[in-house]
Amino acid sequence: MDLKLELVPVPTTDVDRAKAFYERAGFVCDVDTGLRNGMRVVQLTPPGSACSICIGIGIVNTPPGSVQGLQLVVGDIEAARGWLIDRGVEVAPVRHLDETGTWVDGRGGPWNSFATFDDPDGNGWVLQEKPADA
């Protein structure tokens, strides 16, 4: 039985501002459509991903900024961080958890290098570096 995650709703206050942010971050807009009842659906997909996000009007009732920890897994965290920064996204420095569970600046071991950024509403994203052999 395959259970494939296809779409994650992300609450926002300003659809156009959020759409512009995600497009600047390299996400591709797959759908932007309005419905007669005032609902608007915008689906955006990160480059290389099989899962998309959905922003819009009438999508979810959760407060903007309440989605945290959405992970984008990358092969080279420094390159991905630099790519996003070049596109105008503010990304925190790379850090990792040490053996005591404390955040430390710099890369860690396999699956233990992270950099974070927020969308305009404060929804939180995490870049995570995967090992080359994974």
Tens of pLDDT, residues 97-134: 999 999 999 999 999 999 999 999 999 999 999 988 76
Domain 7-57 annotated CATH 3.10.180.10: yes
**CA–CA gap between residue 3 and residue 119 (Å, rounded):** 28
Phi-psi region of 75 (alpha: psi -120 to 50; beta: other; left: phi over 0): alpha
Q: What is the DSSP letter of 92?
A: P
> Of all helices (H) and strands (E), which one includes residue 123?
none
**CA–CA gap between residue 134 and residue 131 (Å, rounded):** 5
The reply to whether 7-57 and 70-129 are identical in fold is: yes
pLDDT at position 13 over 90: yes
**Position of tokens 């071991």?**
109
Does the model's pTM come out above 0.85?
A: yes
Local structure of 56: helix, strand or coil: strand
CATH architecture of 70-129: Roll (3.10)
